[in-house]
């Protein structure tokens, strides 16, 4: 399977995840607007506020993944996919298999993480 196909399928999954999370946010908004319960003191489960925060975090992560995937697809289109954006050397195939959106080789990614 080509890099474009792998990334395309990955993108489809992310878009579906975002749609599901958006639907969860809509449902949560409806519950918040229609309920006057004090869920902050309900021992039976997570509060609406904590659920809101959890979904917001998941949405932010999914949107970041979508941005990274679109950038990787752009690199495929212009022939730069699989080359480190910093040093220009090839990114190890195992790294690309594990992280298809990788833009940096391990050495440069480690440097960026510091």
For 57-108, how does the pLDDT look when each residue is reduced to its tens digit (9 = 90+)? 999 999 999 999 999 999 999 999 999 999 999 999 999 999 999 999 999 9
Q: Which of 6, 21, 4 is nearest to 98 (CA)?
A: 6
The first and second tokens of residue 86, run together, are 């910093």
User: What's the rounded Cα separation, in Å, for the pair 57 and 76?
Assistant: 29
pLDDT at 45: 57
């Amino acid at each position: 399977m080509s890099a474009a196909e792998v990334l395309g399928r990955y993108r489809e999954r992310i878009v579906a995840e975002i749609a599901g999370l958006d639907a969860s946010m809509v449902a949560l908004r409806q519950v918040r607007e229609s309920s006057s319960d004090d869920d902050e003191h309900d021992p039976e489960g997570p509060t609406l506020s904590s659920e809101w925060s959890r979904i917001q975090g998941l949405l932010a992560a999914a949107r970041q993944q979508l941005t990274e995937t679109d950038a990787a697809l752009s690199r495929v289109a212009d022939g730069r996919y699989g080359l480190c954006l910093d040093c220009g050397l090839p990114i190890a195939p195992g790294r690309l298999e594990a992280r298809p959106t990788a833009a940096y080789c391990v050495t440069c990614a480690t440097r960026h993480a510091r």
